[in-house]
C-alpha cells in the first residue's frame, strides 16, 4: 500500500488548507483591489514597499506588467526609499500584519518626501499611518506567505484597472479556474502528484532553483523562500543568462560532497528568450554529471498570469510535501520570531 505522507499532527494549523485556498484568496483579493487605489496619469513611478511574503506579490505584478506599464515599478525591501521618490510617485505599503518595521520606516520616509500613499494590510500600525489615504484591507490570521493570493489579487486588479497591465476579466477567470484545478491535484497525498514527487527528489539535497529573467525570476524566489519557511530547508538559486557569466564556474572544481547533493530545478517558460532556452540546455550538459540531479519544469497555461500561477502553486506544494517528508510543521517560523524579539529587545 502506498505510504501516506500527510500527518495532521505535523500540520495542526492547517498549512495544507491555506495553500489549497490560494485560488479563493486570489479571487477575493481581485475583488478587494477594485476599491480605492488608482494610478493617476501624472504618476511617474510606483514603489511597493514590503518584506517577505508581503513583498512577493509586488514582485510578481512587476514582472507581469513589465511589458504594459507606462511607468517604472520598484519593489522596495529597505528602511528607506530611493532619492527619486517624490510628489509624482505612488508608494504602496504592503505589510500583512501592518507591523513590519522596514515597511513602516519606508512608508514614513515616503510621506516625508511628499509621495502619494496607499496601503495593503490586514490592519495594525500601517493602517493607522495610512489614515486619510487609500487602504485596501485583507483578512488577518494567516502567515504572510500564505496570504499571497490576497496581495497578488489586489495588486493585479489595481494595475489592471489603472491601465498598467493587460489582463481581461476572461483571462483572469480562466487562470483562476486552472488554479483551482491545480490546488485539487497538488493537495492529493498520492504518488501521481507531481509536487509530492518533486519533494521526494529534494529530500536530503540542496535545491538550486534556476530561471530565466523576467516573468519567472520572482517565481524562482518564491520557490526558494517557501522551501525555507515551510520545509525549514536551505535552497539557493540564480537567473540565466547572468549565472553563465560566473556561477557556472563553481561547478568546475567545487567540493564533490557539496556538488553531489545539489538538485537543480530549472523553471522554464515560453516567454524565455531563445538563447536563454539554449543556455538552460547547454548548462545542463556541462554540469549535470557533477550534481545530484537536474530537473526541468515548464510552466503551463493560456496567459502569462496562468503560466506564472502554474509554477507558483507547484512550488508552494513542493515545499509543503517536503515538510511532510522531513517531519516538520510547515507553519511556525520560530527563528524569524526569535530574531524579531531580539531586535525589539
Query: Does 326 participate in catalysis according to the annotation?
Result: no
Supply the DSSP string of 261-283, one letter for each residue: TEEEEEEE-TTS-HHHHHHHHHH
User: Which residues lie across from 74 on neighbouring strands?
Assistant: 47
β 45-49/262-268 pair status: unpaired
Query: Does 129 participate in catalysis according to the annotation?
Result: no
Residue 137 dihedral angles phi and psi, to the nearest 5°: -95, 145
What the block records as the C-alpha cell of 173 is 477567470
**8 Å CB contact between 83 and 113:** no
Q: Going by C-beta distance under 8 Å and a sequence separation of 6 or more, which residues neighbour residue 72?
A: 45, 46
What the block records as the C-alpha cell of 272 is 524565455
What is the rounded distance in angstroms from the CA atom of residue 14 to the CA atom of residue 143?
Answer: 11
* 249, HSE (Cβ side, Cα atoms, 13 Å): 3
**Pick the catalytic residue: 180, 228, 326, 340?**
340
Query: Does 229 participate in catalysis according to the annotation?
Result: yes
Q: Which of 302, 210, 223 has the alpha carbon at shortest distance from 60? A: 223
**Pick the catalytic residue: 229, 232, 233, 263?**
229
What is the rounded distance in angstroms from the CA atom of residue 313 to the CA atom of residue 317?
Answer: 6
Q: Going by C-beta distance under 8 Å and a sequence separation of 6 or more, which residues neighbour residue 76?
A: 47, 48, 49, 50, 82, 106
Active site members: 229, 245, 340
Amino acid at each position: 500500500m502506498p505510504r501516506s505522507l500527510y500527518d495532521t499532527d505535523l500540520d495542526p494549523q492547517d498549512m495544507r488548507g491555506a495553500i489549497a485556498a490560494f485560488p479563493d484568496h486570489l479571487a477575493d483579493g481581485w475583488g478587494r483591489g477594485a476599491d480605492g487605489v488608482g494610478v493617476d496619469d501624472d504618476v511617474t513611478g510606483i514603489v511597493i514597499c514590503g518584506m517577505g511574503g508581503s513583498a512577493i506579490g509586488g514582485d510578481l505584478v512587476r514582472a507581469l506588467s513589465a511589458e504594459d506599464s507606462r511607468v517604472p515599478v520598484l519593489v522596495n525591501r529597505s528602511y528607506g526609499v530611493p532619492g527619486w521618490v517624490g510628489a509624482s510617485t505612488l508608494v504602496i505599503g504592503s505589510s500583512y500584519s501592518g507591523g513590519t518595521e522596514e515597511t513602516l520606516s519606508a512608508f514614513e520616509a515616503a510621506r516625508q518626501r511628499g509621495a502619494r500613499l496607499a496601503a495593503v494590510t490586514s490592519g495594525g500600525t500601517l493602517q493607522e499611518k495610512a489614515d486619510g489615504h487609500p487602504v485596501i484591507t485583507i483578512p488577518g490570521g494567516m502567515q504572510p506567505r500564505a496570504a499571497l493570493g490576497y496581495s497578488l489579487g489586489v495588486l493585479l486588479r489595481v494595475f489592471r484597472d489603472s491601465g498598467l497591465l493587460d489582463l481581461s476579466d476572461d483571462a483572469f477567470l480562466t487562470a483562476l479556474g486552472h488554479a483551482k484545478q491545480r490546488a485539487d491535484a497538488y493537495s492529493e497525498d498520492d504518488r501521481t502528484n507531481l509536487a509530492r514527487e518533486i519533494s521526494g527528489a529534494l529530500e536530503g539535497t540542496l535545491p538550486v532553483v534556476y530561471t530565466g529573467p523576467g516573468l519567472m525570476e520572482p517565481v524562482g524566489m518564491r520557490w526558494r523562500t517557501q522551501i525555507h519557511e515551510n520545509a525549514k530547508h536551505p535552497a539557493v538559486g540564480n537567473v540565466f543568462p547572468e549565472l553563465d557569466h560566473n556561477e557556472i564556474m563553481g561547478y568546475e572544481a567545487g567540493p564533490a560532497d557539496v556538488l553531489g547533493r545539489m538538485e537543480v530545478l530549472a523553471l522554464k517558460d515560453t516567454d524565455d528568450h531563445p538563447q536563454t532556452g539554449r543556455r538552460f540546455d547547454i548548462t545542463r550538459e556541462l554540469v549535470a554529471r557533477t550534481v545530484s540531479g537536474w530537473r526541468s519544469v515548464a510552466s503551463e497555461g493560456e496567459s502569462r498570469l496562468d503560466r506564472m500561477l502554474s509554477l507558483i502553486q507547484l512550488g508552494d506544494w513542493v515545499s509543503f510535501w517536503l515538510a511532510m517528508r522531513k517531519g516538520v510543521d510547515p507553519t511556525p517560523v520560530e527563528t524569524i520570531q526569535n530574531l524579531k524579539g531580539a531586535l525589539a529587545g
